[in-house]
Amino acid sequence: DAKTTQPPSMDCAEGRAANLPCNHSTISGNEYVYWYRQIHSQGPQYIIHGLKNNETNEMASLIITEDRKSSTLILPHATLRDTAVYYCIVRVADNAGNMLTFGGGTRLMVKP
């Protein structure tokens, strides 16, 4: 799996957009970008994933650069409850069961 690089921490003001970057310069053509977050003392929560097109769901938007070497997770209106560690993971999709390799993630602190 391609390695990802994320800033260790970020701050965001409540109500503002939180833009979390992820670098995955060695990504292969068949690897997806997945985003998860982990709120303190809980299991990771799936947010969104994509291959090459930008994606949006009720939680967030995922912007993937044209060369696919980086992506940005956007929380459009961050709330205090969005304070968590956000993990960007790159993984090949397969039907054999795809375990995830977690890096350090980005600790997002949403401040009032």
Partner 1 sequence: GAVVSQHPSWVICKSGTSVKIECRSLDFQATTMFWYRQFPKQSLMLMATSNEGSKATYEQGVEKDKFLINHASLTLSTLTVTSAHPEDSSFYICSARDPNGGGNQPQHFGDGTRLSIL
Footprint of partner 1 on residues 37-66 (CB under 8 A)? 38, 41-46, 49, 51
Distance of alpha carbon 84 from alpha carbon 99, whole angstroms: 21
Residue 7, judged by CB atoms within 10 A of its CB (0-12, 13-18, 19+), counts as middle
For partner 1, the closer of residues 40 and 67 by Cβ is: 40
Q: Does 111 bind partner 1 (CB under 8 A)?
A: no
* Distance in Å, CB of 80 to partner 1, minimum: 20
The answer to whether 87 and 45 have CB atoms below 8 angstroms apart is no
Contacts with partner 1: how many residues (CB under 8 A)?
26
Q: Which stretch binds partner 1 (CB under 8 A): 6-14, 20-28, 32-40, 57-65?
A: 32-40
Residue 13, beta-bridge partner list: 111
Q: Which of 32, 55, 61, 74 contacts partner 1 by CB under 8 A?
A: 32
Q: If we measure between CA atoms, which residue out of 51, 3, 53 comes closest to residue 29?
A: 51
* Distance in Å, CB of 16 to partner 1, minimum: 27
Question: H-helix or E-strand containing 23?
Answer: strand 18-23
Applying CB under 8 A, which residues contact partner 1? 32, 34, 36, 38, 41-46, 49, 51, 87, 93-105
